[in-house]
């Protein structure tokens, strides 16, 4: 084997390793176990029982804010399910105007959620102070629509306030991030 062949193979291996490291740096994966013992415990059923006001932003991969919005959420129980009726108003940018979530609590304490613009069921898992929702959505961006994955995390501050952080991923790479502050009314 010539030096040139060895050099090409080494160069290819370095390129592959660098690509893997780059893709790993573009993804976010939170360790849910870190939140199991944290207080206060987040109880999605009690937090969303009644009216909740939310303020949020969406940032693209460059960190630029591409949407700013408020959400009025009316939460209530219906046939044992938690219903979240959301109404969005945009300060700038555009997006869905309303969404209605139907969340069902499973026997193991996890949740299954559905909404009209969500592709398939959302899977929700409580983790002490945090709650994680995982789902796919057909997201409109300009004149195109993309199937993306939401890794959606709720973190309790107290019984009245909560932060939500969502990582919007395509091919496992974070394409945008959503930050929402929520407060019971």
pLDDT in tens, 55-95: 999 999 999 999 999 999 999 999 999 999 999 999 998 88
Q: Are 114 and 121 in contact (CB under 8 A)?
A: yes
Q: Is 102 helix (H, G, I), strand (E, B) or coil?
A: strand
If one compares 35 and 179, the residue with the highest pLDDT of the two is 179
Q: Is 30 helix (H, G, I), strand (E, B) or coil?
A: coil
pLDDT in tens, 13-26: 555 544 444 444 44
> What architecture (CATH level 2) is domain 31-184?
Beta Barrel (2.40)
Instruction: Give the Cα separation of 165 and 134 in Å (integer).
Output: 12
Instruction: Give the Cα separation of 5 and 13 in Å (integer).
Output: 12
What pLDDT, on a 0 to 100 scale, did the predictor assign at position 39? 81
Q: Which DSSP state fits 35? A: G
DSSP H helices, the chain, are 3-25, 44-47
What pLDDT, on a 0 to 100 scale, did the predictor assign at position 8? 60
pTM: 0.81
Place of tokens 């979240």: 84
- How many of the other CB atoms lie within 10 Å of CB of 82? 21
What pLDDT, on a 0 to 100 scale, did the predictor assign at position 120? 87
pLDDT in tens, 105-121: 999 999 999 999 999 89
User: Dihedral (C-alpha) 112, 178, 93, 161: value to the nearest 10 degrees?
Assistant: 80
- The mean pLDDT of 38-63, rounded to a whole number, is 94
Instruction: Give the Cα separation of 181 and 166 in Å (integer).
Output: 12
How many angstroms separate the Cα of 143 from the Cα of each of 4, 44, 137, 139? 47, 35, 16, 11
Q: Which DSSP state fits 184? A: E
- 10 Å CB burial of residue 134 (0-12, 13-18, 19+) is middle
Q: Which of 18-27, 35-44, 54-63, 163-172 shows the lowest per-residue confidence on average (mean pLDDT)? A: 18-27
Mean of per-residue pLDDT scores for the chain: 87
Using CA of residue 118, residue 122, residue 126, residue 131, what is the dihedral sign?
Answer: negative
What pLDDT, on a 0 to 100 scale, did the predictor assign at position 25? 44
Q: Residue ranges per domain, the chain?
A: 1-29, 31-184
């Amino acid at each position: 084997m010539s030096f040139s062949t060895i050099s090409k193979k080494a160069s290819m291996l370095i390129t592959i390793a660098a690509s893997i490291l780059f893709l790993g740096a573009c993804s976010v994966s939170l360790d849910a176990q870190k939140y199991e013992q944290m207080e206060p415990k987040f109880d999605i059923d009690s937090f969303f029982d009644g009216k909740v006001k939310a303020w949020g932003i969406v940032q693209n991969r460059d960190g630029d804010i591409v949407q700013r919005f408020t959400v009025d959420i009316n939460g209530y129980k219906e046939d044992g399910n938690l219903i979240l009726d959301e109404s969005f108003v945009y300060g700038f940018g555009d997006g869905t105007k309303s969404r209605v979530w139907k969340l069902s609590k499973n026997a193991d304490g996890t949740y299954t959620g559905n909404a009209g613009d969500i592709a398939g069921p959302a899977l929700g898992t409580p983790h002490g102070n945090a709650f994680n929702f995982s789902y796919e959505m057909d997201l409109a961006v300009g004149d195109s629509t993309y199937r993306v994955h939401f890794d959606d995390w709720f973190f309790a501050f107290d019984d009245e306030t909560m932060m939500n952080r969502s990582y919007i991923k395509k091919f496992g790479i974070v394409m945008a991030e959503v930050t929402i502050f929520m407060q019971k009314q």
